[in-house]
Structure formats: structure tokens, C-alpha cells
Amino acid sequence: MPKYQQAEKTEKCLDDERKMEMYGILDKKLECPAVDDEVLGLSSAEAAQRIETDGRNILGGKRHKGAMKIFLGQFHDVMVMILLGATAVSVLMGQYTDAVPIIAVVVINALLGFIQEYRCEKTLEKLEAMTSPTARVYRDGVLKTLPAEMLAVGDVFTLEAGDKVPADGYIISAKMLCCDESVLTGEAEPVCKRLRSDEVDFSSLNKAYMAYMGTVVTKGSGAVRVTATGRRTQMGRVSVMLDSIDEDLTPLQKKLAELGRTLAVICIVICFIVFIAGLLRGEPLFDMAMTGITVAIAAIPEGLPAAVTIALSLAVRKMLRRNALVHKLHSVETLGCATVICTDKTGTVTQNKMKVTAVSDGVGNVFDAAGLSAEIPDTIKELMVCGALCSNARVEENTRSLLKAKKNSARFTAEGDPTECAIALAAAEFGILSDAVAYTRTDEIPFDSESRSMTVICRGAGGNMVSFKKGSPDVIIGECTVVLTAAGVKPFGSAEKLAVMRVGDRFAAEGLRVLAFCRILDGNTVFLGLMGMQDPPRPEAAKAVRQCGRAGIRTVMITGDHKLTAAAIARQVGILKQGSLVLTGSELDEMSDERLAEVIENCSVFARVTPAHKLRIVRAFKAKGHICAMTGDGVNDAPAVKEADIGVSMGIQGTEVTKQAADMILLDDNFATLVNAVEDGRTIYSNIRKFVRYMISSNIGEVVTMFGGLLMGLPMVMLPVQILLLNLVTDSLPAVALGLEPPEKTVMEKMPRRENDSFFSGGLLWRMLIRGILIGICTLGTFSVLLKAGAALPLARTGALITLVLSQLIHVFECKSEEKTLFSVPFFNNSFLLFAVTASAAVLFAGIYVPVLAKIFSTAVPDIRCLAVSVGFAFLVPVLSGLVSSAKRFGRRKTFDIPAKG
């Protein structure tokens, strides 16, 4: 029977009236288990009933938008509202032929925006569900991992270091349990917890027998019985303040929103000029008002911030399929800037599949673990006994049927921490199991980063108390005063310790993780020996490190393992190169921050480091101007993970608090997954630049077309309803499709972009301006040529519409790459883009050739001459654009070739 169940059974159950008073805050009775009741916590039926009555264990938080709210939100844009107002005016004036197509286009645009935003919202909901906290809860007498929101009053949940407490409750079991309650009390010092005795105050803060929702376990372990959930918890009382906090825009969204505002001012001024000039030319007031409004709609990229969010959410969904869970969208942008990746070793660079391959007794005799016979020396037997007792892994023997089915199957299997599994399995192979030795465990001092050791207290067969300990060789060897030898216990002097340390160094140099073991009896600490465990590198790690190198990203290993072990693994995967430094935590302690800043650029491995060292390393890299990604799993890694520009938590080994502090979670704990995420981050940033280039170039072309026609004294080049058709055809699907472009082959062969680089760096703004102007000039060319050739005004407008739409759809393919031309980009690697362009062209020609639509949009069926002129001018745009680019490059080369005077 678990210790905390025994403790609870010794408590006196209170009568129903007292219990009602205790849990009055919930207005619900919490049943005390009967003395003979073996079931922990609640049954599933009881929990469901209490959740139905009290509600889920949530604080409320952000309310997600419903479908109707998302759809209505499409009409909240100022320009759309102005357009709808103008439509209402046209209806009142009896201009139904103008009103109907405008309403139709607005609704279709709203539907497209709704579909995109609804998918985005659903993606974010799924991500939020995946990153929501979990709890290990006893349900139906079985320990299960459940979403924290499914906790109910009366449940029993367990806690370990690194967990975030999921609900308020009193403590029924604790082993060195300490919690950081600063989120509630402001006190930075962790609070040590104890068992509840007969206290009945469960609604106050600062109670040592209580664990509070939202606080973090910094040390130890324990079990808690829930007394309050959701808004009835201490955290719930301040949740209203949390709900009022708005999410910040991403840096990229801020830049694009600022750009949109600037363009809006410019375009409104232009549209006002168009309106006034039209009136001076004698154009009807209503027609010019509608023209001015629709030009503004065409010119202002008001959808850019939303488009960025949609693109980011689609990228997040893609990254999730590759085992990278991003729950902070801005980190997708930041990933593209990463210059340094600080990665853990165990389980990230290595496979985290530990196996004991070598052992050494107390005097340095080395044995191959696989070559040991069943009759092992007594010294090694004592070492194995210590290892079995100092392991919390659950060992089970395979059944005979399984062994027959798989001849190569191991005799035993284990579940738990990989290191402890390796130790327990090594002992089990020689018939030494923790529950079959002559010792009974009574208590445990868990491993922590400060002591770098774990101790178990046991009762021997004769009733005497014995402690067994495992940990870092330098720690254990330093504490030992005697050593177990074949001839009995002998003094453990400096020479003997040095010999053993050399064996440990040899193990470490072979890439083995080394642990030392000792026994404490009657005040003497007896050294028992060493175990060397192999954790081979992941096969894909070396390739990922090379990929980082080509991308201009440094890979740095930070680990608590021995210096030689870390160096050996780092050398195997290519992290440690000739001339690079390997620093230990003790060496870091002797360095000033200034000295660390001097040498950190040449450091590839940091070994034997503490969480405080990790935080210092991250700050040192950031001080040198690096954009730093940092991986972590333990609770003490959380500060460094949060300090890093991109905090990364392990999904398998990571603690709850580290996952909550991180921007991204590696679901498979794999370094290669992190490198893939960097590639995805660079790709999405590149794709955002692509569709921004496309949208703004197109908008500039439309403004140049309308404004240029006015300056040239031409009739109105396109009617308002035709501009709306243009927006429908060109602005929606093609732009979103560019956000889905696959990565270019060179994306991981470029140096990282600097975080403070302008979004329009690399000549992007110049390309947008030139291309927009050329689109407008060629559209005006089509309109002018057709008019001079005697075409009717509706036919000339139709030709201009064809040129404007086709030139933009051609430009979509140019925007696929900033380095390649239209004739060298891959056309067929983005099927959605092909669909978007085909659908847009189909809508355009439907608006021309379908009689009903042609009447609505005031288009005319073009003859061969009109089509030839329109298509010819459309394809002239990329030709002229290429000539301008070539002239610019030629001029730059000539400038560089001018010899210096004198």
C-alpha cells in the first residue's frame, strides 16, 4: 500500500456537517475514503458527476471565436464598411445594377476570409489543447495522465520536480517537496511542504500543507488531494486580471500593419485627387465617389496582418507534423534568425537508450558487462545490489511465449528513466532485483542538480539502517573513506581514488556515461565501483549538425555529463572540431563575464554545468549579438529556456514547467527536429515576403492604372465593379498559395537574417515599386492601344482588365523566388498555387464570357485583336521587369569596376 494512502487512512474522517463546512466554497461534500477502501482518488463516474456540477478545472481564459463571429468580423474593416455604405446609397438612388455586383463581391471576399480565418482558429485551438497542462491522477485506483481540466474535487494527483500544480489541494504525501509560489505570493524563495494533519483551512494562502494551482514544484515529490478547482482556486481569484491581458502582435505583424497604415494614407490622398479631378472633368459625382472608394479598397493591403497570421498558423500545423509543436507564433519568425543552437546531449543528440556496457569494482578492475558470467565477483554483486536499490525503474520479466516468439528478446524489460532502466536491467540480468534483495527501501533523497546524487535509505534484514547512493564519480569518490575489495573493506586513499578516477576518465573518453556507487553504514562511506553506460548518437544528428553549419548556425552542446563523455559524443556528431574549446562548470565559475565573452565564440561544448551556468551561457551568447535557441527538460532549465530567444522544451523528458516556459516543444526530443524547425522558420518568413511582394506590387499597379489614366486625360480605365472583380480574382487564393510554397533548396545554405533587418531588405521594396509601376504602365498601354484602334470603351476596359489580372497572375510565379527568374522557377512544386491561378483565371473569363456576369461587371467579349493586345502587354511586364533588373545589376557592376583616383 502506498505510503500516502496509509497516512490518509490514519486520519479521522470528519462527520458530514464538518465536511460540508470544509468544502463550502464548492457547496459539495468530499467523501473521506473508508479505512478498508483500497481505491485511491475518485472513480470515473464520480469525477464526471463532480465536473458536471462544479465545472471544468479551467480559469476561463481566452474565449475562442465562433463561426458566426468570424464571418461577421470580415465586415468590420473600415473600407468594407464604407463600400457597404456606398452600396446602400446606390440602392436608395435606384442604381441596382451597381449595387448587386458590389454586394456579391464583398460577400464572396468575406467567405474566402472566413474560410481562412476559421481554419486558422481551429488550428490554434488544437495547438492550445496540445500545450495545455496535464496531471497524473488516480482514477479507478489506477494512475493515469489526464488533462488538468478534468480534475475534480476529491481527486488525488501526484507531483514531481518540474510539475506545475494543476489544482488546489492538501498534501497527503511528501518527500522533500518544495514549491515556488512566487506567482501567487511574490516570494521568490521556494516553500517546503509537509503533510496535512488535522488542519481544515483550505481557502487561505501560505499554508505549508497546501499545494496551489499554478505554482511550480522545484524539488522532491508528493501526492495531493484536490480541494478546489478552476476559478475557486487561489489562482482562479486573480484569473479575471489574466483574462484582460491582450496578446501582442508579432514583430512581423507590427511591421506590416505599420506599412499598411502608411500605404493607406498615401492611397487615400491619391483617391481624393482622383475624386476631385474626376469632378473637374465633369464625371458624375456618384461614379467618382464609388471609383475613389474602390481604388482605396484595391490599393490598401488591409488583409496583410491577417494573412501573416494565417500563414504562420499553417506553418505551425506543418511543423507539428514534423514533431515540432510551436505554441507561440512569433517563435516561427525568430527561428529564421537563429545563429546559435544550445542543445542538451542525452536524448537530443543521443538516442537516450542507455545500456551498461562496462563496470569497474572499487579497485579499478574493469569488466565487460556483456562478458560477465552468472557467477559474478562479490564486489560486482554488491555494486549491482546498490544499483538495483538506487533505481526507480519498474523491471518485469518477459513471458516464455514472448521469448519463443522473439529469440533475441531480452530476458527483462524496464520502464522509467533511461539511466535507471539501464542500471536496473544490468542488475536483473544477474538475478538481482530491488524487491528480492535483503534490504527494504524506507525513504529516498531524489537526485538534484546541486548534489548530483541520489540516496535511498534501507532497512537491512537485521533491522539496521543502510544508505545506498549513486551519482557523479567526482562527488561520490570524494565522499568515500573506505573501499570494498575482494579481501574486504580497505582504506580509500588518494592513490586509490586517483586510479579509480582514471578508469572513469577512460570510460568517459569512450563516450560512456559514468556513474559511481557507494554504501553508507555505521558512519562509513564505502566505495563500491563504477558503471559505464553507452548512449549512442542519433543517426540523423551528424547530418543535422552539418546542415546547421552550412546555414551559418553554430551548434553548442551543454550537458551535465563528464567532460570527456561530452567531448567524445560531440566529436562523433561534428559539434566539436579541431581547435574548439570544452569548458566545465567549475572553469566557468572561475571566469568573469568579460572573460567568458572573449572565449565563448570558440566554445563548442560545456560539460558538468548547472542550470545557473546554462542561464549564464545563454546571456553570454546574447550579449555577443547572437539569436540563441536553447533546449531544456528539467525544472531548473526553465530560466535559461525562457531567457533564450527561442526556448525549446523536450516533449518526452521535459517537465511541465519547462514546456510552459518554452516557445516550442520537440515531441520526439530529437535535435534533427529542431533543425527541421529552423528550416521551416526560414521558409515561412521567406514565403511571407513572397506574398507581401505580390500583394503590394499588385496594389501599386492598380493605383498607377487608375491615377495614370486620370493624368493622361483618358476615360475611366475601369469601373468600380471591375476593380472589385479584380480584387476577388487576384488578392485571395494566389496570396495564400504563396504562403504554402515548399522550401527552396538554398534556404539552409544562407546566413541567418539579422533580427533587426528591415522586412524589405535585399531590394524587396525596389522590386515591388518597379513591378507595380510596370503593371500599371502596361495596363494603360492596353487601354490606350485599343481605344486608338477604334475599340469601344467597354471592350477597351475589358482588355485592360485582362492585362491587369494576367500580369498579376504571371507575377505570382515570379514571386516564388527572389533569386530566380520567371523562366527558371519550378512551376509544378506547389499544386495549390496552380489551382489558385487556374481558379482566378477561370473567374476572370467567366466574368467576360458568361452573359449574366458580363452584364453585371460591364465587360465585353473580346475579339482576337483585343485578346492579342491584352495578353501581349501582360507578358511584356516580366520582360520589361527583367530588363530593368539587368540594367540595375549592370550599373552596379560598372560602379564597382571604376578604378580609384590617384
Residues serving a catalytic function are 344
CA distance 60 to 58: 6
User: Is 329 within 8 Å of 680 (Cβ atoms)?
Assistant: no
DSSP state of 862: -
Q: How many helices (H) and strands (E) does the chain have?
A: 32, 26
Burial of 560 (0-12, 13-18, 19+ CB in 10 A): buried
Contact residues for 840 (Cβ-Cβ < 8 A; gap 6+):
729, 730, 733, 734, 805, 809
Compute and round to an integer the Cα radius of gyration of the chain. 35
CA distance 647 to 615: 12
Strand ranges, E, within 184-299: 191-192, 210-211, 216-228
Q: Which residue has the cell 476559478?
A: 231
Identify the H or E element spanning 571. helix 563-573
Amino acid at 187: E
Cα 849 to chain centroid, rounded: 49
Closest CA to 847 of 895, 808, 798, 813: 798
CA distance 424 to 392: 8
The cell for 574 is 561534428
Contact residues for 836 (Cβ-Cβ < 8 A; gap 6+):
733, 734, 736, 737, 812
Contact residues for 274 (Cβ-Cβ < 8 A; gap 6+):
288, 291, 292, 295, 706, 707, 710
User: Is 518 within 8 Å of 527 (Cβ atoms)?
Assistant: yes
CA distance 728 to 637: 50
For 315-333, b/e burial (b = at least 16 CB within 10 A) is bbbebbeebbbbbbbbbbb
CA distance 342 to 802: 53
Closest CA to 706 of 770, 764, 768, 772: 772
Beta strands 366-368 and 664-666: pairing type?
Answer: unpaired
- Sign of the dihedral through C-alpha 393, 394, 400, 402: negative
Cα 199 to chain centroid, rounded: 42
CA distance 455 to 470: 7
What length is written for the chain?
902
Contact residues for 536 (Cβ-Cβ < 8 A; gap 6+):
350, 351, 353
Closest CA to 336 of 301, 304, 311, 306: 311
